[in-house]
């Protein structure tokens, strides 16, 4: 229900938080007139996102009020397969009632369980909403109680998480506000303008005071175009570059010996190891001149405070865990964690420590199976659907995700989704690529239409996202769908009747000291609250600038590692990790090039490295279907390449080309535009439905998993490209 019952004629403003899978978690204000949302704007009071929205969410009314939304439960009446111009999506389905839909799903699930056991049912969800409740709560309770297979949700960030944790023990880092105080900023595999735009004003502020911005990225992003120094790097070679930098920093005595002695372990091992990586050797792999490596190392170590914004780009590579580990070592060597505006930021989500166990209740699996259910990796959906046995997957429930667009090895995913013996339910806001293979489609609310609690991974503020309006059509939130399914399944556990407010209270009721004093009531009143860091968690001095709203006791900058405090097994930052050693990984750090790269066997016959990128104005596959947002993306359907690769293939700008490898092929339009270095090509993720032959760039990506965290390798892909002759 809407929090404050409102007079229909009244105009009011609701506070929400953007739940999309984006570091920024913007504070949002939604104006409601006569029950209808009439305006969306950024909340100017939010200290980090400060009143502006990205281009896509600024057009959110077009999404909420799109005529293309799923409004009612629908049952398939046509064969599974892609809709398009010739088959209107709605013609593939008939409208049914919620009662019919819930009955059909539970009856089908019961018969699948009777024949194959509960683990033959697979939930599939990821980042549709990062709201604490609608992301992971009632859904998890339901599937745990059912005894369904568990999903390893590793499509995005788990390699980087393991990499950073192997050094720091936790995912914490430099808060965005501190970037305004930095003198030297490295954006490392981090497309700030496209994917994390609210950090940009802090960087601009630092640059006005003389800071230098360096961008390390194989693709000339909008961020790279704005940089003081742009270093195109060969994909998958960041570990080599980081080792080259550490070679210089250590051998030229540019490190912080006191910090290292007090707060780190394994320095001697690292010192020995970096001797194998002089800049000349690192240069050979990374494609960055040795002199530039030396210059970058010296500037980074001496122009202080220096900070690294490393994002998930470097870890979508076969050895992405090691790459993140290597980069994370840099601020531990220079001791820049001590400085306001120093350190490193990957994800800050480790600070929130919400009570996940209370939300998800994994103990319910015990009740269903007497043991934990098997785990299936989401990256390998193609193989899972086609080859997994004991038991095979017979029921698939997709929500918060669009695997028919975002999952690698697209052709196998589609082959699996097409199986006539697979019962697929998709809970969605839109008729996506994935609903093209659904037996039942259920209508989902947007964040305008449900309440949630919102953490962030790019700042340290917790927010309440209010329900601004009644759901459109018969849409229901994830929480309500799984509540209803649990009831139909006959699960009488009290947790399935818990109210949304009670779940928010329980999420906040956690041993994490940084949640101390933060309650739902306070969040409802104050909209956003910075985590309760104490002065012992940081340095001195005020972070907030005039005009900023921040409670007096909570102004000190958060410097999580100024005095060590690394929650690793040694209690120190680990240049040597016994944990990695036990896992059979290099306990220090070493560079091995990806097999699927110019240095590996994957390149035989397929010499070009493909970056299967995100679109700057979409969010993975979300927004691709909103016409006003699609207009912002002129690069869809294009393959960017370097002239030195185009010319010998007889390819000119604007030609139609075929990009292919053993997994698949796609026809795109060549752009010879200086965005990529020699040997690299790039294309953007889009809905398959809008691509030639109902395909997208994931026909070329693979199911191969990373060295740590079992994550996806979207940026370790080799292809060949030729002129397309129809």
Kindly tell me which of 141 and 450 has the beta carbon lying closer to ligand SF4: 450
Interface size with ligand MGD, residues (CB under 6 A): 62
Contact flag: residue 194 with ligand MGD (CB under 6 A): yes
CA proximity to 257, closest of 328, 331, 333: 333
Question: Is residue 54 close enough to count as binding ligand SF4 by CB under 6 A?
Answer: yes
Beta carbons of 464 and 131 less than 8 angstroms apart = no
Query: Distances from the Cα of 277 to the Cαs of 98, 217, 317, in angstroms?
Result: 62, 20, 20
Angle, vertex CA 308, rays to CA 567 and CA 210, nearest 5: 135
Tokens of 133: 């409740």
Size of the site for Mo ion (CB under 5 A): 1
CA 163 → CA 10, 266, 284, 710, distances in Å? 51, 16, 24, 12
In whole angstroms, the minimum distance from the beta carbon of 294 to ligand MGD comes to 18
Query: 271 or 459, CB closer to ligand MGD?
Result: 459
CB 386 within 8 A of CB 690: no
Closer residue to ligand SF4, CB minimum distance, 22 or 683: 22
Q: Is 432 among the residues that bind ligand MGD (CB under 6 A)?
A: yes
Compute, in degrees rounded to 10, the torsion defined by CA atoms 208, 211, 213, 214: 160
Q: Are 446 and 429 in contact (CB under 8 A)?
A: yes
Q: Contact with ligand MGD (CB under 6 A): which of 188, 285, 337, 423? A: 188
Instruction: List the one residue from 454, 510, 532, 698 that touches ligand MGD (CB under 6 A).
Output: 698
Q: Which of these segments, 15-23, 340-348, 531-539, 670-678, binds ligand SF4 (CB under 6 A)? A: 15-23
Cis geometry, peptide bond prior to residue 391 (ω within 30 degrees of 0): yes
User: Least distance from C-beta 27 to ligand SF4, angstroms?
Assistant: 9
Span from 49-57, 146-154, 168-176, 348-356 in contact with ligand SF4 (CB under 6 A): 49-57
Q: Which is closer to ligand SF4, CB of 24 or CB of 256?
A: 24
Q: Which does 313 bind (CB under 5 to 8 A by kind): ligand SF4, ligand MGD, Mo ion, none?
A: ligand MGD
Among 150, 377, 622, 713, binds ligand MGD (CB under 6 A): 622
Using rule CB under 6 A, residue 437 touches ligand MGD: no
Closest CA to 622 of 460, 405, 467: 405
37 touches ligand SF4 by CB under 6 A: no
Residue 81 is encoded by which pair of tokens? 């397969």
Residue whose structure tokens are 């600038």: 545
Tell me how far CA of residue 572 lies from CA of 175, 261, 332, 583, in angstroms.
21, 10, 10, 19
Angle subtended by helix axes 138-146 and 478-489, to nearest 10: 30
**Interface with ligand MGD, residue 392, by CB under 6 A:** no
For the chain, the 3-state helix, strand and coil shares in percent, each to the nearest 5, are 35, 20, 45
Among 136, 156, 159, 711, which residue interacts with Mo ion (rule: CB under 5 A)?
Answer: 156
The contacts of residue 553 (CB under 8 Å, 6+ apart) are none
Q: What is the rounded distance in angstroms from the CA atom of residue 452 to the CA atom of residue 503?
A: 10
Size of the site for ligand SF4 (CB under 6 A): 12
Q: Please report whether residue 25 would count as binding ligand SF4 according to CB under 6 A.
A: yes
Tell which phi-psi region holds residue 268, choosing left (phi > 0), alpha (psi between -120 and 50) or beta. Answer: alpha
Site string for Mo ion, 113-152 (x = CB under 5 A): ----------------------------------------
Q: Which residues within the stretch 14-53 sit at the binding site for ligand MGD (CB under 6 A)? A: 21-22
C-alpha span between 44 and 27 (Å, rounded):
8
Nearest approach in angstroms of CB 254 to Mo ion is: 34
Binder among 49, 190, 424, 510 for ligand MGD (CB under 6 A): 190
Q: Looking at beta carbons, which residue is closest to Mo ion?
A: 156
Three-class SS state of 381: helix
CB of 511 to ligand MGD, least distance (A): 28
Residues in contact with ligand MGD, shown as a per-residue x/- string from 201 to 240 under the rule CB under 6 A: ---------------xxxx-x-----------x-xx-x--
The interface partner of residue 26, options being ligand MGD, ligand SF4, Mo ion, none and the CB cut-off 5 to 8 Å by kind, is: ligand SF4
Assess whether the previous peptide bond of 206 is cis (omega < 30° from 0).
no
Q: Which two tokens stand for residue 130?
A: 């990062």
Of the candidate residues 57, 122, 681, 683, the single one contacting ligand SF4 (CB under 6 A): 57
Give contact residues for Mo ion (rule: CB under 5 A).
156
Give contact residues for ligand SF4 (rule: CB under 6 A).
18, 20, 22, 24-26, 53-54, 57, 197-198, 619
Give contact residues for ligand MGD (rule: CB under 6 A).
21-22, 126-129, 134, 155-157, 188-191, 194-195, 216-219, 221, 233, 235-236, 238, 311-314, 316-317, 399-402, 405-406, 427-430, 432, 444, 478, 611-622, 685, 697-698, 701, 714-715
């Amino acid at each position: 229900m809407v929090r404050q019952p409102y007079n229909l004629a009244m105009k009011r403003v609701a506070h929400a938080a953007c739940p999309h899978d984006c570091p920024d978690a913007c504070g949002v204000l939604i104006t409601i007139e006569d029950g209808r949302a009439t305006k969306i704007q950024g909340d100017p009071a939010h200290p980090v996102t400060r009143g502006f929205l990205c281009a896509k969410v600024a057009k959110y009314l077009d999404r909420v009020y799109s005529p293309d939304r799923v409004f009612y439960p629908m049952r398939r009446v046509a064969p599974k397969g892609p809709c398009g111009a010739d088959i209107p999506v709605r013609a593939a389905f008939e409208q049914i009632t919620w009662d019919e839909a819930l009955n059909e799903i539970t009856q089908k699930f019961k018969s699948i369980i009777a024949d194959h056991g509960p683990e033959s049912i697979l939930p599939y969800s990821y980042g549709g909403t990062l709201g604490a409740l609608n992301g992971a709560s009632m859904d998890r309770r339901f599937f745990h109680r059912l005894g369904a297979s568990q999903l390893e949700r590793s499509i995005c960030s788990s390699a980087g998480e393991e990499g950073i944790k192997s050094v720091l023990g936790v995912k914490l880092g430099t808060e965005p506000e501190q970037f305004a105080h930095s003198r030297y900023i490295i954006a490392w595999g981090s497309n700030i303008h496209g994917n994390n735009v609210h950090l940009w004003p802090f960087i601009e502020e630092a640059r006005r005071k003389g800071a230098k911005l360096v961008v390390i990225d194989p693709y000339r992003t909008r961020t790279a175009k704005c940089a003081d120094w742009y270093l195109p790097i060969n994909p998958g070679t960041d570990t080599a570059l980081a080792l080259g930098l550490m070679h210089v920093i250590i051998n030229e005595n540019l490190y912080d010996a006191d910090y290292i002695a007090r707060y780190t372990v394994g320095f001697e091992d690292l010192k020995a190891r970096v001797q194998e990586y002089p800049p000349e050797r690192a240069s050979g792999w990374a494609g960055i001149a040795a002199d530039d490596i030396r210059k970058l190392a010296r500037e980074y170590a001496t122009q202080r405070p220096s900070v690294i914004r490393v994002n998930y780009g470097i870890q979508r590579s076969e050895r992405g865990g090691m790459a993140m580990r290597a980069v994370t070592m840099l601020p531990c060597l220079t001791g820049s964690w001590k400085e306001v505006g120093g350190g490193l930021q990957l994800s800050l989500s480790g600070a929130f420590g919400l009570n996940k166990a209370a939300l998800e209740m994994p103990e319910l699996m015990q009740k269903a199976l007497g043991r934990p259910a098997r785990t299936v990796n989401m990256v390998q959906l193609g193989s899972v659907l086609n080859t997994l046995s004991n038991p095979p997957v017979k029921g698939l429930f997709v929500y918060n995700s669009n695997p028919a667009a975002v999952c690698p090895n697209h052709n196998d995913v589609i082959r699996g989704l097409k199986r006539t013996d697979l019962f697929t339910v998709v809970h969605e806001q839109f008729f996506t690529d994935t609903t093209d293979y659904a037996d039942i489609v259920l209508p989902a609310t947007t964040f305008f239409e449900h309440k949630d609690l919102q953490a962030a991974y790019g700042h340290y503020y917790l927010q309440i996202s209010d329900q601004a309006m009644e759901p459109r059509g018969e849409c229901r939130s994830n929480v309500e769908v799984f509540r209803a399914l649990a009831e139909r399944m006959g699960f009488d556990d009290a947790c399935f009747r818990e109210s949304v407010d009670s779940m928010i209270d329980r999420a906040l009721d956690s041993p994490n000291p940084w949640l101390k004093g933060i309650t739902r009531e306070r969040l409802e009143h104050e909209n956003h609250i910075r985590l309760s860091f104490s002065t012992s968690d940081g340095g001195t001095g005020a972070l907030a600038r005039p005009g900023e709203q921040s409670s007096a006791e909570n102004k000190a900058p958060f410097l999580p590692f100024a005095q060590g405090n690394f929650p690793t097994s040694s209690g120190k930052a680990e240049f040597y990790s016994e944990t990695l050693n036990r896992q059979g990984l290099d306990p220090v750090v070493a560079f091995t090039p990806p097999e699927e790269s110019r240095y590996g066997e994957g390149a035989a016959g397929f010499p070009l490295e493909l970056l299967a990128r995100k679109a700057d104005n979409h969010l993975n596959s979300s927004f691709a279907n909103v016409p006003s947002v699609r207009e912002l993306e002129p690069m869809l359907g294009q393959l960017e390449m370097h002239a030195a690769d185009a010319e010998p293939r007889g390819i000119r700008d604007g030609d139609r080309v075929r990009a292919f490898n053993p997994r698949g092929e796609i026809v795109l339009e060549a752009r010879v535009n200086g965005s990529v270095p020699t040997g690299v090509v790039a294309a953007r993720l889009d809905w398959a439905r809008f691509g030639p032959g109902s395909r997208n760039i994931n026909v070329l990506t693979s199911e191969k998993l990373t060295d740590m965290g079992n994550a996806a390798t979207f940026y370790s892909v080799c292809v060949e490209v030729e002129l397309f002759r129809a």
